[in-house]
Amino acid sequence: MQHVIICRTDGTVTDMALPEERDFRWYAEQIGTDIIQTVYARGLKEPYFFLCDEEGRLKDNPTINFLGSWLYETQDHGEPIVGDIMIVKQEMTDEGPDIGGMSESEAEVLAEWLKQNSCRAYIEVMIRIGHLLTPN
C-alpha cells in the first residue's frame, strides 16, 4: 500500500494510506482545496514534491504552513505556503509522470524528519516573515 504525508497548518504531520481508487478531487479534499498546485520544493529531493492550495492566499484568513514554507525555502525569498499540504512521490505511468505515494517505511522516515524539524521550520520562516512585516 502506498502512503502520503499530510502537513497541516497546526503543525501536525500525518502518514496517510492512499486508497486504491483516487482522482484529483480526492487529493484536493484531503488538503481542503478545489484547485491543486504542485510544488517541487528545494527542501525535498526528487522524486518527492508536495500539493498545496493554488488559491490559498486568496481565501479569508489564510494560515501559513510553516513546514511547507520551510520546504519551499520561504526563509530565503519571503513567499510563504498557506494551507495544508500533501507530500507525494512522482510515479511513472503509461501516460507519463503522475502523483503517487511512497512506501510505508519511506513515509515513516520522512514524517519523523519533518516532526524533528518543525520547530526549526517555524523559527526560520517566522524570522523571515517577521522581518518583512516589521516597519523600518
Q: What integer best gives the mean pLDDT of the chain? A: 92
Q: What's the pLDDT at 80?
A: 93
User: In terms of DSSP bridges, do strands 3-7 and 36-39 run parallel, antiparallel, or are they unpaired?
Assistant: unpaired
Total-model pTM: 0.90
Helices 104-116, 118-133: inter-axial angle, 10-degree rounding: 50
Amino acid at 19: P
What's the rounded Cα separation, in Å, for the pair 8 and 136?
Answer: 32
pLDDT tens digits for range 71-109: 999 999 889 999 999 999 999 889 988 899 999 999 999
The answer, yes or no, to whether residue 135 has pLDDT greater than 60, is: no
Count of CB atoms within 10 A of residue 27's CB?
A: 17
pLDDT tens digits for range 18-60: 998 999 999 999 999 999 999 999 999 999 999 999 988 888 8
What are the structural domain ranges in the chain? 3-133
